[in-house]
């Protein structure tokens, strides 16, 4: 429901409680499946607001990112990646000079690549595309619907990787079904609430929450 209103945050709440119910080996793949249900349902409930012209570039970058997951994760140190993402989000949101300069190089090919490539080890890659969409689009519904589709693509591209994590993933099938149904219901309620809320109010909330997330990502690495 939280993600249905502001576009993100639900996945972080979910992964914080999953260790209570699941073994460590199942947390990442089951979280990915539930997030796939959450993002895809959120996108479907706001289908008319998706900016489809942006999708092909993100999709191509995401496919390349998925194909290179194994190579990238074995050749790149991930220790400082969350801090780099956090710093990028902060500067993109609050530094007009940085935002204007980086706009010349921002590409949804690259965003799709990074969001999918790094998504397995960096829990909050979705805000990468959300921060760019917030800058380029004016409608809260277009921002959140398009971001939901982008995150759906990223999760779909990683499903084969999730499935390779464990052979016992569907031993908790009942739990997965209940979580998926809960995610879809939350998306429906959150979307209804968002559609009835003023545009500027939601966008400001997104900016504030993205800022808090970015600070958290930087602080976790620095401390």
Chain segment 26-59, per-residue pLDDT in tens? 777 788 788 889 999 999 999 999 999 999 999 9
pLDDT at res. 132: 86
Residue 72 pLDDT > 70: no
Which burial class, exposed, middle or buried, applies to 71 when counting CB atoms under 10 A from its CB (0-12, 13-18, 19+)? exposed
* Percent with pLDDT over 90 in the chain: 24
Residue 74 pLDDT > 60: no
Using an 8 Å Cβ cutoff, are 43 and 133 in contact?
no
Mean pLDDT for all residues in the chain: 82
For the segment 148-163, what is each residue's pLDDT rounded down to a tens digit? 999 898 888 777 766 6
pLDDT at res. 164: 66
Domain residue spans of the chain: 2-222
Q: How far is 99 from 94, CA to CA, in rounded Å?
A: 8
Q: How far is 50 from 152, CA to CA, in rounded Å?
A: 13
And the tokens for 17?
Answer: 């409680």
- CA distance readout (Å), 45 to 48, 69, 166: 8, 30, 32
pLDDT at res. 147: 92
For the segment 9-31, what is each residue's pLDDT rounded down to a tens digit? 787 778 778 877 777 777 777 88
Residue 103 pLDDT > 80: no
pLDDT at res. 43: 94
For range 199-205, the mean pLDDT: 85
Residue 73 pLDDT > 60: no
For range 90-102, the mean pLDDT: 82
How many CA atoms are closer than 13 Å to the CA of 31, on its beta-carbon side?
24
> In the chain, what is the straight-line distance between the N-terminal and C-terminal CA atoms, in Å?
31
- For the full predicted model, state whether its pTM sits above 0.95: no
pLDDT at res. 6: 82
pLDDT band at 67; cut points 50, 70, 90: confident
pLDDT at res. 168: 64
pLDDT band at 120; cut points 50, 70, 90: low
Q: How far is 53 from 83, CA to CA, in rounded Å?
A: 30
């Amino acid at each position: 429901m939280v993600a249905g209103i502001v576009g993100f945050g639900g996945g972080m709440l979910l992964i914080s409680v999953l260790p209570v119910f699941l073994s460590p080996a199942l947390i990442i793949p089951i979280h990915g499946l539930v997030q796939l249900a959450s993002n895809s349902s959120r996108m479907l409930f706001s289908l008319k607001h998706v900016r489809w012209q942006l999708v092909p570039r993100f999709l191509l970058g995401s496919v390349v990112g998925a194909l290179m997951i194994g190579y990238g994760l074995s050749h790149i140190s991930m220790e400082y990646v969350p801090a780099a993402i956090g710093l990028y989000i902060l500067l993109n949101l609050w530094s007009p000079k940085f935002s204007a300069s980086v706009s010349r190089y921002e590409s949804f090919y690259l965003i799709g690549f990074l969001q999918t490539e790094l998504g397995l080890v960096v829990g909050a890659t979705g805000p990468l595309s959300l921060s760019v969409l917030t800058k380029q689009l004016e409608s809260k519904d277009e921002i959140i619907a398009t971001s939901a589709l982008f995150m759906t693509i990223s999760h779909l591209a990683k499903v084969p990787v999730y499935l390779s994590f464990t052979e016992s993933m569907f031993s908790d099938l009942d739990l997965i079904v209940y979580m998926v149904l809960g995610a879809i219901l939350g998306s429906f309620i959150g979307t209804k609430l968002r559609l009835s809320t003023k545009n500027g109010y939601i966008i400001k909330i997104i900016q504030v929450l993205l800022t808090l997330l970015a600070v958290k990502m930087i602080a976790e690495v620095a401390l």
